[in-house]
Structure 1
Amino acid sequence: MDLFAELKDAAVSKNAEGDFPDWLLAGVLEVANAPELHADQHELVELLLAQVRDYDTYAGAGCFDASVTADTIDRTLRLIRRQ
């Protein structure tokens, strides 16, 4: 599976679990469905994939919590769109 298909699969799965917000899913799918626009941003798309996989609604609640917040993913999406 290629990087963009993995990103789409991870985001759709997280959303189906019920805690990944629809507005965030829309932004991730915008990137995942346009590999021709983002092919030169491989590292950022890999980062986004890792963040989607580590997303947790309650991120930051624990002292050593390594999960990712919606804000973190949103910042990465903005970086991808700017380039």
Structure 2
Amino acid sequence: MLSTSTLLLSAGALLGILGLLWLLARGARFAGLAQGGPGKRIAIQESAVLDTRRRLILVRVDGREVLLLTGGTQDSVVGWLP
């Protein structure tokens, strides 16, 4: 049977390791290393709710912007913006 001090020591070590991993992940994200490459290729610029089911979404893809209509019976591309 494990003693209380052994359990507390094990839990403290586990929390310490998890804390170090969390700090490393935050540092990598802050330094830009966890973004998957030199730059993002796709990003949501804006989103507007039209009603309870439909939404307009402005998406930037490789420097171009596209307007999407989601919800309702089907999703559709409204058009590419200049």
Length-normalised TM-score, structure 1: 0.23
Q: More strand per residue: 1 or 2?
A: 2
Greater Cα radius of gyration, structure 1 or 2:
2
Length-normalised TM-score, structure 2: 0.23
Higher relative contact order, structure no. (Cα contacts within 8 Å, ≥ 6 residues apart): 1
Q: More helix per residue: 1 or 2?
A: 1
